[in-house]
Amino acid sequence: MMEDIQKRDTDNFNLTRLKDYPNLWSAMNTTIEEITGTFQGFMKALNREKQKQIKFCKNELHSAELDAEQKSIKLIRIFNS
């Protein structure tokens, strides 16, 4: 992505003429990759936690649904007696 941006940047030519440009670019690229990796790891962990919560809520909802159905059946039988 950064390389595409550089290709379209008109000031990029001036930057590439700097003596330490390759070293600076390499250091920046490494830092960006580290930050991106940290961010992706964090987001994956959040997504796993979210999926656990969704699964727990689905199970609780299903359990409550079955319980309510059993209570309703009992009340209908009492009412019909």
| pTM (2 d.p.) | 0.58
- Find the mean pLDDT for residues 6-14: 72
- Find the mean pLDDT for residues 41-68: 98
> Which two three-digit tokens encode residue 81?
């007696």
Question: Is residue 59 situated within a structural domain?
Answer: yes
Number of independent structural domains in the chain = 1
Question: Is residue 42 situated within a structural domain?
Answer: yes
Range of the domain at 47: 20-80
Question: Is residue 15 situated within a structural domain?
Answer: no
Q: What is the pLDDT of residues 11-29, one digit of tens each?
A: 776 777 777 877 877 888 8
More confident of the two residues 71 and 15: 71
Confidence at residue 13, expressed as pLDDT on a 0 to 100 scale: 67
Task: State yes or no: pLDDT of 30 exceeds 80.
Answer: yes
Question: Is residue 27 situated within a structural domain?
Answer: yes
Cα–Cα distance measured from residue 46 to residue 40, given in angstroms and rounded to the nearest whole number: 10
Cα–Cα distance measured from residue 31 to residue 60, given in angstroms and rounded to the nearest whole number: 44
Helix (H, G, I), strand (E, B) or coil at 9: coil
Question: Is residue 55 situated within a structural domain?
Answer: yes
